[in-house]
Amino acid sequence: MDISKRRCGNCAERRLALKNVRGEFKSPWRDFPVAFVTVDLSLWTCANCGNSVMIGGDAEKIDAAYELSVRDQAAQFIDVIRSKTGIGSGQLAELIGVSPQHLSSVHSGKQRPSFSLWNFLKMIATDPVVMVKKANPNLDIIRENILLRA
């Protein structure tokens, strides 16, 4: 395919170049209202307006990049929660209402989390101690040694 003959669908320019859109590319994906690509992804992009142009197998590349990004983000959220609260995987799974096996599969990247689980993990990761306390009001934060670590 001769890329020089392709035009941007937005501004009709022919100045397309491969660009790594990591951290910049976002759109709805599967059941996620908005997903962000956090892994390397090179797409043909218009040098004039910055619009990404879909060519050939780009849809499969984008889908794979979103899949990896969502799995990686969920694992990072779990790591943040566990490191800042000191709770174990089993206790975290119980607090958020999933099985320890499912949480382990999500953490290891073997399984993609649903949007609701991903969003819940993200919300907890923003302030883990407060969210863990809200999820389980009977949990004695001092006794269980759930303290923010610098």
Give the DSSP per-residue string, 17-85: EEEE-TTT-EEEETTEEEEE--S--EEEEETTT--EE--TTHHHHHHHHHHHHHHHHHHHHHHHHHHHH
**Third-level CATH fold of 3-135:** 434 Repressor (Amino-terminal Domain) (1.10.260)
Residue 107 tokens read as 């953490």
pTM for this entry: 0.78
Angle, helices 58-85 vs 89-96, to 10°: value is 110
Question: Which pLDDT does position 54 carry in this prediction?
Answer: 83
Domain ranges of the chain: 3-135
Q: How confident is the model at residue 53 (pLDDT cuts 50, 70, 90)?
A: confident
Q: How far apart are CA 33 and CA 27, in angstroms?
A: 8
More confident residue, 136 or 64: 64
What's the pLDDT at 122? 92
8 A C-beta contact, residue 148 and residue 141: no
Q: 55 pLDDT band (50/70/90 cuts)?
A: confident
pLDDT of 63 strictly over 50 = yes
Residue 86 predicted with pLDDT over 50? yes
9-46 pLDDT, tens per residue? 889 999 999 999 998 888 899 989 988 899 999 999 99
- Strand duo 52-53 + 42-46: pairing: antiparallel
